[in-house]
A = this chain, B = another copy of it.
Amino acid sequence: MDIRYPGGKKFRLQNREISQKPDYGNRGMTFEEDINVSNQYYLTNGIAVIHKKPTPIQIVDVDYPKRSAAKIKEAYFKTPSTTDYNGVYKGRYIDFEAKETKSETSFPLKNFHEHQVVHMKNILHCGGISFVLIRFSVTDEVYFLEGDKFINFWERMKNGGRKSIQKGEIVQFGHRISIGIRPRIDYIRVIESLYKEIL
């Protein structure tokens, strides 16, 4: 059975990772799938190896039945201390987080945890390539925002400024990624153009 959202977008259960926030999980699903198939394209073609990290889980109780697989009976989601995606392109360390918003005017920074931003700073300090992929779901626009620019907006919030990045700021400081077919979200192309002197 096909369940469809208003607007006709299909609800796809198979690839859905059960999320701590079910509403948010549904919203984010398609974007995550798009990134995963893009990563699969990069992998299959020997371009880059980028994986989504497993969701961190605190395991409390496990049953070890005889003759069958261990069953986790009690566990809880942990707050991620790093970003979701990392890997390698041309020897370089690549690290990013991908988030989307239903808002048409701004990207709310509550989508991030302080730990993740500290992680981004550490990555930049050690010479890694850090960025954020942001999707405006209503218009299906995807932007690549470099880590140092994202951190500037985060610091603005911490200094009492707005709790979001205005869409106009993302358009100005980020890089629009046109949605393609193979790969669907070609963020490596942006990396290639932004960091060509070190690649």
Nearest-Cβ distance from residue A93 to partner chain B, whole angstroms: 4
Q: A125-B46, A126-B90 are in contact. Are A20 and B73 (CB under 8 A)?
A: no
Main secondary structure of the interface of A (DSSP, over half): mixed
Please tell me if A168 contacts chain B, counting CB pairs below 8 Å: no
Please tell me if A180 contacts chain B, counting CB pairs below 8 Å: no
Q: How large is the interface on A (under 10, 10 to 19, 20 to 34, 35 or more residues)?
A: 35 or more
B55, B90, B123: the one contacting A88 at CB < 8 Å is: B123
Q: Are A92 and B91 in contact (CB under 8 A)?
A: yes
Tell me which residues across on chain B come within 8 A of A57, comparing CB atoms: 54-55, 57, 72, 75
Complex Cα gap A125–B90 (Å): 9
B49, B53, B92: the one contacting A123 at CB < 8 Å is: B49
B43, B70, B82: the one contacting A51 at CB < 8 Å is: B82
Nearest-Cβ distance from residue A136 to partner chain B, whole angstroms: 27
Interface of A toward B, CB cutoff 8 Å: 17-18, 20, 22, 43, 46-49, 51, 53-57, 59, 62, 64, 69-77, 81-82, 86-95, 119, 122-123, 125-129, 198
